[in-house]
Structure 1
Amino acid sequence: MSETFETDNKEIERAILVGVWVRGQNEEWEVRDTLDELAQLTAGAGAEVLSQILCKQSKIHAGHFIGQGKAEEISQKVLEEDANLVVFDEDLTPAQGRNLESVLGVRVIDRTQLILDIFAQRAQTREGCLQIELAQHLYLLPRLRRMWTHLERQKGGIGLKGPGETQLEMDRRRIQDLIRTLNKELTQVRTRRAEQRRGRRRHGWALVSLVGYTNAGKSTLLNRLAGADIYAKDQLFATLDPTTRQVELPNREPCLITDTVGFIRKLPHNLVESFKATLEEVAEADLVLHVIDCSHPQVEQQIDAVNVVLQEIGAEEKPVLCVLNKIDTDEGAGAAKRLARTLGRSVAVSAVTGENIEGLLDELSDCLKGDKELMKLEVPLSEGRLLALLKNSATVLEEKYEGPNAELLVRVPLPLVPRCEPYRIAST
């Protein structure tokens, strides 16, 4: 049920963007910055951006979000520029959207609806499509009445319901049934993901999650670290579906790194709720790699936006290594030096050129080494499964074979320590 940005005859949508600055609530430059971001989102969804309008007012108006007079000014702008779409950089209530469409005479959508449309266009996997569909239905449910305004005058008499009301109730029940079905399917997805994580834990692999503002360079970084070929493009939300790759660290220990969906300011709450199956990868990780676009003029605000989402998904206490990306640019190099003094543990890199990737891998090794215990073991050769597990999941520093046993000096992942304890022969 996603919105589309093309009509049946493939006519490109022509959009006017509207931002609202409420004096005293935030700074004017913040609103202008998110409005520029909205322009990137709109263009990425396939629409042509005609112009941007910033409304300055003292309060939010209940009826039209903006004042009636300002709405009429925008209506005139719509006629002058032959626009057929108006996009608001704020969330509108169903009533506000309905009232604005009545005044403006064209379709009106808000930031959440736009982001949901982009996600619907780009999700590739079954899991991603399920999550997007759930978010769209959660968004649509309270807005059904707006879709049926053309039937509002068809009222029945006492004891009767007009056809519009009947259809509205039927659609509401149908969407509620779909939401229940999607939630059930996503519960199964979460169960499968939990089983996969338990399997990785049994092998002792460290789990690392990449997070960051959209277009910070997460996919490019994972491609660089793992030699992967994940789709990476200079646009917002270029990739949505999570991808996991194995990376061997300089100390010969393997780890699994998962690229997750990019975050953004004003990330729709329904989207966070629907993507919990994916975002649980972050909450369950041993280490979070926060990829930061140091070249962006509002890099601090982007960092704050990521931290807000981490808090919302219960991952704010996870150990974090900040990756100060894009130091191949003059802006990025200067900002990286400044941010390194204020952030916690960090390393500056360029995912595009590969500059200091070795330093990042060294930091990763150092961050994860606390998850392993140094043990000296004497394991019977008959314990072939354990020996194979140690070869794959532990770091073997020394090995010597004496008769029926193997003597090993190994760094063992903590989940495997109880399994190895019976074969420990000396304190290390």
Structure 2
Amino acid sequence: MVRYIHAADLHLDSPFKGLINIPEELFNKIKASTFESLRNIVDAALSHHVDFVLLAGDIYDIEDRSIRAQVHLRKELDRLNEADISVFLIHGNHDFLTNDELHLALPENVVVFGPEVETKILETASHENVAVSGFSYDRNWIEERKISDYPSRNVKCDFHIGMLHGFMEGQAAEHARYAPFSLSELKEKNYDYWALGHIHKRQQLSQDPLVYYSGNTQGRHKNEAGEKGCLLVELTKSHEDVTFIPTADIRWQTVDLDVTSHESMNGIFDEIKEGLANEELTNSLISLNLSISPDTPQTVIQKLEDEAFYQVFQKIGPSAFVYIVSARIKVNNTDQQVLSLESSFPSAWEKAVSDVSKDETFQEMTQELFSQHAYARYVDDDQEKIKNDSIDAAKQLLVQDLGDEISYDN
């Protein structure tokens, strides 16, 4: 049997997005969370006595790799070295290979793959031979099909594993299509396991062979909500087992509350307080969505739109916290307004939505912004999400601009 951990997209020392006016104590904890997730990966590797660890790209958040991130990585990999646990590491589009003089040396137990696909052989403590094939990005855009360079299964080894940081064709387009591949191309290699990186959502793509995106190890913004972690994999000649291990020190969570039955501040306050009391929200950064009644008085709405109102719900303790980072208010009849606009002005509505939904419109409006590297690296992984959010916002503006001209029967 061979046992190992598959992790990817650690994004050490990530700047985190969309956080403003956070108390210093909490902000420091958030900034340290990617390092805590790394420590949790190493803790899991040690406690489960794994044979090796696979790190499938984007270990760092940017190519120049902050010294703080490098020190933390070397410290944790040293712990694995002391336990005689090997590490196989590839670099992705965020942390592609650059000048070595800027980098701290890693411990001798770490194998870093170069820019060309290569295969490394490891003999485990139980004398099983494992072949590991992979490559590292040498630039931030790899558009060619590197999968074509991967060798077929090494028949002399007991197990063969592929590491690949890239995009599987047919997936939703939230991530850039780097090093594209198809599932059939993976299967043609006849490997036992594919350890994938780049997509931050954990998912299994195939059972035979096992193909997994482990997802990222620590959510960095509200679109990376829920549990994040790594995978513990056990392979034998006749059996395989894959177990998710949570590693995130903090979680981003969305809380949807329907407060339409309340028109007074007192009722809405109690509803929010109760909704945030859930133990599952401990150590979470909350995006709060409030659905209010169309009859809610404007004076109450003004209170709900005041950032200071939500300060009373923030909980920051020495070992646990619950913190609202954003709050959105939605009048419950918005969807009815959209439907009414569609039915009242079908041609105009269809043309308006079509215009704002066109890829060329989005690209034209964002080309200058995304072409600037300082901004591009922050949107590289979720341009489709940004596009969809922009379209939704545009629809809301259409409702606001046109909706006042129509009367509704509630």
TM category (shorter chain) comes to: under 0.3
Q: TM-score, normalised by structure 2?
A: 0.25
Identify the structure with bigger relative contact order (alpha carbons < 8 Å, sequence gap 6+). 2
Q: TM-score, normalised by structure 1?
A: 0.25
* Larger relative helix fraction: 1
Q: Which has the larger radius of gyration?
A: 1
